[in-house]
Amino acid sequence: MHTKSIAELSAALRGGDVSSVELTRYMLQRIKTTGESLNSFITVTEELALAQAAVADQRIAAGEATPLTGVPIAHKDIFCTKDVRTSCGSRMLADFVAPYDATVVGRLQSAGAVMLGKTNMDEFAMGSSNETSYFGAVRNPWDGATVPGGSSGGSAAAVAARLCAAATGTDTGGSIRQPAALTGITGLKPTYGRCSRWGMIAFASSLDQAGPMTRSAEDAALMLSAMAGFDERDSTSAERPVDDYVGGLGNPLQGLRVGIVKEFMGDGLDAGVGASVQAAFDALQDLGVELVDVSLPNAGLSVPAYYVVAPAECSSNLARFDGVRYGHRCEAPRDLEDLYKRSRSEGFGAEVQRRIMIGTYALSAGYYDAYYLKAQKVRRLIADDFRQAFERCDVIASPTAPETAFKLGDKANDPVSMYLQDIYTIAVNLAGLPGMSVPAPAADGMPVGLQLIGNYFEEARLLNVAHQLQLATDWHRACPPGF
């Protein structure tokens, strides 16, 4: 049952082979037993899940089911969920119970999806290994000694280990795609503005975007169809209709031009990963795709630009966590300044504090032009690179991450090498484009991700390419041993 895709589960539920309550109970049991060692969930909402499943069963019986009705999923703990703890992986919000639902959560709930719980993540989505979580590191189901990637590491591990049919993630610099790559699943970061950010705890507002993490492109299409759409509560959400993601999956790829980013295939790329990604390119070629070389000459500036813009925005976004209204408050503050200093020093972990410091510095009087403004200029240059590249191709392809999953603790004390995990994904966020990671052949038994990048709002095309690739290959079907 746990190996079934969303479409298969949906058929089974509608056919009466299994009820949502049975399915939910089964998955909850898997989380507690098989999945226990992964630490992929911060909160399991057993009672709520069974209640939602019961409602779903009624809907199915009444013939009012959507493809997601009764399907058990999980939410990254960055999404506010009404009356359920929403920690964002931080001590700061370790006891925070959200008073409202994020739009993405509400939409999936309306579609009938059952929430099993909230998944682990890097604290405030800052990290690429899930090691910065206050609730402990998540283990990669493919090798318990390695990381699942981050920041959506809990969602990635849970989906890869078949603890839920799908999960939500968020991606600010690669936080859906890199963990998807490291755990061998499919992850899609939509165009900036495609999914509402209402209720998604902000890290870097101009980059954050929610997306689905699934075991196939088809499942991602089903999830995104429910998640995407204009939301008047988010001024940056796109006021345009949502495409038919499922309907376009079957389109043939004949004649499609796929651009290979030459800057992403050179130095810094692990040889094994390079070979796997090449194999995926070849498979695309076999499907009738024309491979062309494209260049993103300013892509090398994306990591430094990102590490100005994202911390700058985070330094401001995280100012609300001051111990005054909610969240962690230090014991017996002497005065206001002590309240601020100790609440924040105790509530935030080292990586969050580092980024707040960097961002505060970058926005300071006298440095703003040199850092923040310059980084914004770099963003425009990078967006321009993509615009030119898309004149030569329809979809861009590259590796998702430079290497396979690394050992827990390996990069924990080397922030720069950790930041380079996102060297191929960050440019996509800076430009606001949709990006996807789909499994390529494994390297030394560990998953590798192929990144597909589309033009603005061309999620349907990305899903189409990924689905055709998955019809022709079985890389996405690989299951971590023991799960």
Catalytic residues: 76, 151, 175
Q: Kindly state the smallest distance separating residue 205's Cβ from another protein, in Å.
A: 4
Among 11, 61, 275, 324, binds another protein (CB under 8 A): 324
CA pair distance 278, 413, nearest whole angstrom = 32
Among 11, 61, 275, 319, binds another protein (CB under 8 A): 319
- Is the CB of 201 or the CB of 221 nearer to another protein? 201
Reported residue count of the chain is: 483
Q: Kindly state the smallest distance separating residue 428's Cβ from another protein, in Å.
A: 17
User: Helix or strand or coil: residue 332?
Assistant: coil
Report yes or no: 3 and 162 within 8 Å, Cβ to Cβ.
Answer: yes
State the DSSP string of 84-130.
Answer: BB--TTSGGGTT-B-SS--HHHHHHHHTTPEEEEEE--SGGG--SSS
The DSSP H or E segment spanning 397 is strand 395-399
- Is the CB of 96 or the CB of 419 nearer to another protein? 96
In degrees rounded to 5, what are phi and psi of residue 37? -70, -15
- Is the CB of 340 or the CB of 483 nearer to another protein? 340
Q: Does 332 bind another protein (CB under 8 A)?
A: no
Among 14, 270, 360, 479, binds another protein (CB under 8 A): 360
Q: Which stretch binds another protein (CB under 8 A): 6-14, 143-151, 313-321, 347-355?
A: 313-321
Question: How far is C-alpha 35 from the geometric centre of its chain's CA atoms?
Answer: 20
Q: Which of residues 397-426 bind another protein (CB under 8 A)?
A: none
Count other C-beta atoms under 10 Å from residue 357's C-beta.
12
Binding map of another protein across residues 216-245, x = CB under 8 A, - = no contact: ----------------xxxxx---------
Among 186, 213, 163, 149, residue whose Cα is nearest residue 402: 149
Q: Does 483 bind another protein (CB under 8 A)?
A: no
Among 287, 29, 271, 7, residue whose Cα is nearest residue 162: 29
Count other C-beta atoms under 10 Å from residue 313's C-beta.
23
- Is the CB of 54 or the CB of 383 nearer to another protein? 383
Q: Which stretch binds another protein (CB under 8 A): 85-93, 113-121, 145-153, 290-298?
A: 85-93
Q: Kindly state the smallest distance separating residue 236's Cβ from another protein, in Å.
A: 7
Interface size with another protein, residues (CB under 8 A): 44
Among 88, 180, 185, 305, binds another protein (CB under 8 A): 88
Q: Does 353 bind another protein (CB under 8 A)?
A: no
- Is the CB of 26 or the CB of 368 nearer to another protein? 368
Q: Which of residues 182-211 bind another protein (CB under 8 A)?
A: 197-202, 204-206
Q: Does 433 bind another protein (CB under 8 A)?
A: no
User: Helix or strand or coil: residue 7?
Assistant: helix
Question: How far is C-alpha 37 from the geometric centre of its chain's CA atoms?
Answer: 21
Report yes or no: 310 and 173 within 8 Å, Cβ to Cβ.
Answer: yes
Among 20, 30, 45, 96, binds another protein (CB under 8 A): 96
CA pair distance 331, 433, nearest whole angstrom = 45
- Is the CB of 324 or the CB of 350 nearer to another protein? 324
Name the strands in the sheet holding 166-170, side by side, starting at the edge strand that comes first in the sequence.
Answer: 41-44, 114-119, 72-76, 166-170, 210-214, 186-189, 435-443, 446-454, 395-399, 257-261, 290-294
**Which residues of this protein are in contact with another protein, per CB under 8 A?**
79-80, 86, 88, 93, 96, 98-100, 102, 197-202, 204-206, 232-236, 312-313, 315-316, 318-322, 324-326, 336, 340, 360, 363-365, 368, 372
